[in-house]
Amino acid sequence: MKNYIPILSMFLAVVLFSSCEQKRQAPPYNLDNKAKSSISIPYEEMGGVKVIPVKVNGVTMNMIYDTGCSGLHMSLNEVQTLAKNGKISNEDILDAEFSTIADGSIVQNGTLNIKEIVIGGKDGLILHNVKASVSLNQEAPVLLGNAVLDKLASVEVDNVEKTINFVKK
């Protein structure tokens, strides 16, 4: 049997049987990379949203830069990809939480510790131990939201050059 099936089973069990109580605080982000003071990432427009490539535990994913999202959000599809590639373990599965989505409804999501997010390559922004919410919907978009970005940089969207510019604090 595949190695990732127990991880996904554990994740689903956590979502179904845990409460919305937060059990631990996310550790502070590591911003020690002094190679550059700013990073400019080209974005693509897809369906009216800005999409940038981001590495999540070493796997490149296209994420929507979403100023309305409070953190990092993934679908179960991305979790399956990470699990199949051995990029998450049972220890990375945290708990379940309730979230309010754009239409005002409340949904339950799983949460997962992402060991490393890289925005802009090896000289870019590197975040460690980021808490991500995970939708059980296979087709939910991958969102990079304000709460993550607010902790590490000021952000400017250049609609002329089609870049998102991150400036380290």
Domain boundaries, the chain: 4-19+28-168
pLDDT confidence of residue 101: 75
pLDDT one-digit tens code per residue, 25-47: 443 444 444 555 678 889 999 99
The pLDDT of residue 125 is 80
**56 or 137: whose pLDDT is higher?**
56
Which band of pLDDT confidence, cut at 50, 70 and 90, is reported for residue 139?
A: confident
What is the rounded distance in angstroms from the CA atom of residue 142 to the CA atom of residue 100? 16
- What topology does CATH give the domain 4-19+28-168? Cathepsin D, subunit A; domain 1 (2.40.70)
Binning pLDDT at 50, 70 and 90, where does residue 160 land? Answer: very high
Across the chain, what does the average pLDDT equal? Answer: 78
What's the pLDDT at 21?
38
Name the nearest CA neighbour of 142 among 31, 60, 36, 20.
Answer: 60
pLDDT for 148 equals: 67
